Amino acid sequence: MAEPPLPDFSQSVKLKYVKLGYQYLVNNFLIFLLLPIMAALSIEILRCSPQDLINLFNSMQFTSIHIICSFFLIIYTLTFFLMSRPRPVYLVDYALFKPPRSFRVSFGGFMEHARIVLATEPKSVHFQMKILERSGLGQETCVPPAMHYLPPRPNMQLAREEAELVIFSAMDSLFLKTGLKPKDVDILVLNCSLFSPTPSLTAMVINKYKMRSNIKSFNLSGMGCSAGLISVDLAKDLLQRYPNSNAVVISTEILTPNSYLGKERAMLLPNCLFRMGGAAVLLSNRRADRRRAKYRLAHVVRTHKGADDRAYGCVSQEEDPEGHIGIKLNIDLMTIAGEALKSNITTIGPLVLPASEQILFALSLIGRKFFNSKSKPYIPDFKQAFEHFCIHAGGRAVIDELQKSLRLSNEHVEASRMTLHRFGNTSSSSLWYELSYIESKGRMKKGDRVWQIGFGSGFKCNSAVWKCNRTIKTPVDGPWADCIHNYPVYIPEVVKLQ
């Protein structure tokens, strides 16, 4: 007679409550330890008469010199502690570029252009159609005017016009939302990976808004889709150096000069995924901005795998045999991204995870090292550390892989999937469109923690952790204002194109 199968203990309700009890006990261990000590001391003090307390004080034989020295020691210690603490960095507000509807590129329009531009390469056209069908993009994504021409016109003049449209639109909106005047900007950081003209894009912004001559400006290029968080990290370090200052961070990618016109499959992929976008973010270390700021920056963790040749070359700008320049994505990109993520979460885990998860992770690490190296490593439950996740909307495969690796629910990756659907891969600015989606849904509450994760060429994985400073009201403007009621939408695995 066959034995009855054992119940699935991993799904047991009782086991769930055991785990919750374990988390509560470990995460509040110090409180549980201090409570009986404080209770015992309180009982002893209550049992003593006032005269007993006076006698105890006199028995210590404190002189006026002892009291004065102790007082100055306390003052010195408190002053040193306050002066050595890093200055808090606040995210006051941010603004996003919303492309006009005339820039919209539907699936049908995209494929029509592909068939005309690559009329003699039906296999390349078919490849792009297969990518687009599985991309997770919607019908409302936008490309710049230069890419609507037949053939596309990737020239310098149109590239500058795109840069001016995207960057100035975001900056105008930021100045309007925050009340900041251009001459009050202390630090300006701009990242754009593939378009780096002379004069620089930061010089273009300074010239447009007639900013101060002593502004500290930085123009970052070649750093890929994770450059937005690198810019935030740079601004954070500068704000530690300069008190009572603010910093404007601009993140964008200019597509006009980077439209690939060849037939190499590995270089056609970016054409299918990348779309227009840009963000302008105001950071500050001023106490006066604390109340009105939306978020406080808690951590920035950067991981660079460039020492590994495979990681270094998995995303690169190259020239194909026919002389066409484009971005080449290697087939092992997702494997390398997974390794970079693993290194990044190993660093950020101890900073954000509760004690209960850190203990389980440490026990798993010890067990694999000394007992069974083939056992599966314990994946920490990052849902214990964050309420919201902003995963770089680089493509459906990126979001799927991170959802699986971090064991996230569909709701946790909803902002990333819907941003990819509505705006496409907007490179370094995609994380801000995702944050705006969460706010537009009315989900951001005071005290909530947000984890932004970006990937970029080199190969890099960067993380930023923000803590919500106040409950965010549902915005009445912004890129999601006219369509948020339609989301979330169902995104099929394959959208069949003719």
The CA distance from 109 to 95, in Å, is: 29
Give the whole-angstrom CA distance, residue 285 versus residue 235.
10
Would you say 216 and 202 are in contact if contact means Cβ atoms under 8 Å apart? no
Q: What integer pLDDT is reported at residue 497 of this predicted model?
A: 77
pLDDT of res. 27? 60
Distance CA 175, CA 62 (A): 60
Which residue carries 């930061």 as its tokens?
202
Identify the pLDDT of residue 290: 93
Amino acid in the structure at residue 202: T
Q: Tell me which H or E stretch contains 465.
A: strand 460-468
Residues 6+ apart with CB under 8 A from 93: 174, 177, 178, 282, 293, 294
101-115: average pLDDT: 93
What's the rounded Cα separation, in Å, for the pair 231 and 251? 8
403/188 Cα distance (integer angstroms): 34
What is the model's pLDDT at position 301?
95
- Report pLDDT for 129: 93
The token duo for 233 is: 């990290």
Residue 471 has pLDDT above 60, yes or no: yes
Q: What is the rounded CA–CA span in Å between residue 376 and residue 379?
A: 9
Encode 279-305: b = buried (16+ Cβ within 10 Å), e = exposed: bbbbbbbbeebeeebbbebbebbbbbb
Per-residue confidence band for 132, with pLDDT thresholds at 50, 70 and 90: very high
Residues 131 and 241: beta-carbon distance below 8 Å: no
User: Is the Cα torsion angle 78, 80, 84, 88 positive or negative in sign?
Assistant: positive
Looking up tokens 């998860």 gives: 357
How far apart are the C-alpha atoms of 144 and 252, rounded to whole Å?
13
d(C-alpha 202, C-alpha 381), whole Å = 40
Please report which helix (H) or strand (E) contains residue 338, including its range.
helix 333-352
Strand partners, 295: 91, 468
At 184 the pLDDT is 96
Q: Which residue matches tokens 């948020």?
A: 484
Higher pLDDT, 226 or 83: 226
- Residue 468's pLDDT band, with cuts at 50, 70 and 90, is very high
Q: Which helix (H) or strand (E) holds 282?
A: strand 278-284
Quick: pLDDT tens for 80-94.
666 666 899 999 999
Position 206 pLDDT exceeds 50? yes
Name the least confident of 54-63, 158-167, 379-388, 483-492: 54-63
Q: Please state the length of the chain.
A: 498
Ramachandran region, residue 493 (left: φ > 0; alpha: ψ -120 to 50; beta: rest)? alpha
Write out the two tokens for 201: 């894009």
Residues labelled catalytic: 225, 304, 388, 392, 421, 425
What is the mean pLDDT of the segment spanning 96-122?
93
pTM: 0.86
Out of 205-219, 329-343, 349-363, which region has the weakest mean confidence (pLDDT)? 349-363
Per-residue pLDDT, averaged over 35-53, amounts to 78
Are 137 and 420 a contacting pair, CB within 8 Å? yes
Q: Which band of pLDDT confidence, cut at 50, 70 and 90, is reported for residue 17?
A: very low
pLDDT at 14 over 60: no
- Say if residue 28's pLDDT is above 90: no
112, 297 in Cβ contact below 8 A?
no
Angle, alpha carbons 227-313-395 (nearest 5°): 55
Closest among 258, 270, 274, 200 to 428, alpha carbons compared? 274
Q: Is 35 helix (H, G, I), strand (E, B) or coil?
A: helix
Rounded-to-integer distance, Cα 34 and Cα 38, Å = 6
State the pLDDT at residue 350.
85
Task: Identify the band that residue 23 occupies on the pLDDT scale cut at 50, 70 and 90.
Answer: low
Considering only CA atoms, which of 104, 112, 144, 143 is closest in space to residue 129?
Answer: 112
Spatial separation of the C-alpha atoms in residues 167 and 428, rounded to whole Å: 13
Return the pLDDT at 21. Answer: 59
Residue position matching structure tokens 């040193």:
80
Q: Is the pLDDT of residue 5 over 70?
A: no
Own/partner pairs for 404-413, CB < 8 Å, 24+ apart? Answer: 405/338, 405/341, 405/379, 406/379, 406/382, 407/379, 407/381, 407/383, 408/382, 408/383, 409/383, 412/383, 412/388, 413/389
**Other CB atoms within 10 Å distance of the CB of residue 404:** 10
Q: How far apart are the first and last CA of the chain?
A: 57
Q: What is the pLDDT of residue 111?
A: 93
Q: Which pLDDT belongs to residue 472?
A: 95
Measured CA to CA, the distance from residue 497 to residue 149 in angstroms comes to 22
Q: Residue 137: pLDDT band by 50, 70, 90 thresholds?
A: very high
- The tens digit of pLDDT for each residue in 351-384 reads 898 887 888 877 877 777 777 766 776 778 899 9
Nearest-angstrom CA–CA distance, 368 and 445: 39
pLDDT, tens digit, 9 for 90 and up, residues 288-315: 999 999 999 999 999 999 999 999 999 9
Indicate if the pLDDT at residue 397 is higher than 80.
yes
Distance CA 192, CA 219 (A): 8
The strand pair at 246-252 and 187-191 is best described as parallel
CB-based contact 471:477 (threshold 8 Å) = no
Instruction: pLDDT band for 66, please (50, 70, 90 cuts).
Output: low
pLDDT reading at 16 higher than 50? no
Q: What percent of the chain has pLDDT over 70?
A: 89
**Residue closest to 390 by CA, chosen among 299, 452, 472:** 452
- Cis check for the bond before 36: say yes or no (omega within 30 of 0): no
Q: Place 349 in a pLDDT band, splitting at 50, 70 and 90.
A: confident
Cα separation, 343 vs 350, in Å, equals 12
- Predicted confidence at residue 69, as pLDDT, reads 79
